[in-house]
Amino acid sequence: MTSLQARLSAGLIAALALLTALTVAVGGYSLHQLAENFVAARLEHDLETLLAALEFDPAGQPRLPGERISASFHQPYSGHYYQIETPSGELCSRSLWDADLTLPPLTADRVTRSFVIGPQDQELLLVGRAFRVKDQPITIAVTEDFTPVRQGIQRLLLEVAGIALLLFGALLLFQRLIVRRGLAPLEQLRRALPRLAQGEIPQLPVDAPDEVRPLVAELNRLLALLDQRQRRSRRALGNLAHALKTPLTALIQLAEQPPSSHPAEWWSDLRQQLQQMRRLMERELKRARIAGGGAPGQRVLLEREIADLVDTLGRIHRDRDLRFEIQVPPGCQFPGDRDDLLELLGNLLDNACHWAAETVRLTVDVNAGRLALRVEDDGPGCPPEQLEWLRQRGTRIDESRAGHGLGLAIASDIVEQYDGTLTLGRSATLGGFQAEVVLPLIRGR
């Protein structure tokens, strides 16, 4: 059973059936006890009446005046019987005729109540007690036929069971309506999934129950993240195509002009364009190595990911004797996606590695609900009037260095995606270039 509605309905049906059965059972038992107590109270009254009317003749034989006895004790097999036992004899009601009752042990300290089988297999409720009258021990027992009472209780229980079944059916319909109305938002989400897959809607509707709203919000976050990553990948491919366009055009021109007059110059131009294309490809391969693998939307621990990233950059720039100074508070987390973190810090640290003389420093600070990432180097830095140029896509201050001027532009796009700020300037301690990223730890959705 995979349907949530079917599971809830089955559970509610089982609960309602159990509740109905318990109601009928408890109601039947309560009615039986109530009827038994009522009949027993009436029999105790009859017992006291017989005790008050009991007399002894001069011979010591017990007798009861007829006018003081209820008429029901004179009707044969009426179910209303009494039996009095004394040392000198036994006195029975005329309704018993020639039959005798088998009495249970009776005591003087309490009234005994029990069911016995009477004449014509009647089910009798018996109430009896032992007394001492004129220094003689006597026992008195009175009975009443409980069969009509039991039959009446059974008829009443059948009526109650019928009403309970009707109520059970009505409750089933009512609970089915409640379940359908309660699961209606989930049904809307289920219908929205095919539309999302076909691209008709960009995200799932957030009008969902509290129990599933965090799931919907997380799915929408991942969808937005994948969409942003796809746009960034397309932009990166466009940037790479744009960067390759110039050397490819130069190669075409060289191919149309054979090296007849100046072969040395022709071969030099050819090698230069090929090396430029090789640098561009190596740049993209290096970015792929820095980003590595990871689950989409995975939230990361900065200390661990930065350590892996610095180790990768150290292998990439192993020909340079660089020293990395890393300051990360323990347990600090990046409020976003792992790939975004690696691409952001990868671009900033890789740029610092290119320009640093010996030292690259990364400082992480958390303060007032904001995460600050500061990357510094001890290189030549950048003139203040040229800092804004670095944000532009494809801009490079020094054309003699490898690269194609996309690193800081990509980092700026990622920071903007997370509602943060990217500040470029000169390091106050190392004297080189400094890039500082400030990101809010809690983002509005």
For all residues of the chain together, what is the average pLDDT? Answer: 81
Whether residue 27 lies inside any domain: the answer is yes
Domain around 127:
4-151
The pair phi, psi for residue 374, each rounded to 5°, is -120, 120
Residues 230 and 366 in one domain: no
Query: Checking DSSP bridges between strand 359-367 and strand 323-327, what pairing results, if any?
Result: parallel
| Lookup: tokens for 23 | 């109601």
User: What DSSP line would sit under 321-376, residue for residue?
Assistant: --EEEEE--TT-EESS-HHHHHHHHHHHHHHHHHH-SSEEEEEEEEETTEEEEEEE
Q: Kindly state the percentage of the chain with pLDDT values over 90.
A: 20
Instruction: Summarize pLDDT for 172-207 with one digit per residue, the tens.
Output: 888 888 878 877 777 788 788 888 778 778 888 777
Q: Distances from the Cα of 199 to the Cαs of 144, 186, 193, 196, 223, in angstroms? A: 83, 20, 10, 5, 12
Whether residue 259 lies inside any domain: the answer is yes
Q: How would you label 325-337 residue by residue, b for 16+ Cβ within 10 Å and e otherwise?
A: ebebeeeeebbbb
**Residue 87 belongs to a domain with what CATH number?**
3.30.450
Over range 115-138, report the average pLDDT.
89
Whether residue 55 lies inside any domain: the answer is yes
- Final residue belonging to a domain, choices 265, 286, 307: 286
- Is 394 a residue whose pLDDT tops 70? no
Per-residue model confidence (pLDDT) at position 416: 84
Structural domain count of the chain = 3
- Is 21 a residue whose pLDDT tops 50? yes
DSSP letter for 222, please. H
Residue 304 φ/ψ region, left for φ over 0, alpha for ψ in the -120 to 50 degree band, beta for the rest:
alpha
Residues 109 and 236 in one domain: no
Per-residue model confidence (pLDDT) at position 430: 92
Instruction: Summarize pLDDT for 299-324 with one digit per residue, the tens.
Output: 568 888 898 888 888 888 888 889 99
The pair phi, psi for residue 76, each rounded to 5°, is -60, 135
Per-residue model confidence (pLDDT) at position 288: 55
- Is 374 a residue whose pLDDT tops 90? yes
Whether residue 241 lies inside any domain: the answer is yes
Higher pLDDT, 276 or 287: 276
Per-residue model confidence (pLDDT) at position 144: 93
**Residue 342 · residue 308 · CB < 8 Å:** no
Over range 282-294, report the average pLDDT.
55
Q: How far apart are CA 43 and CA 326, in angstroms?
A: 97
Which residue reads 């980003």 in tokens? 291
**Residue 406 belongs to a domain with what CATH number?**
3.30.565.10
- Is 378 a residue whose pLDDT tops 60? yes
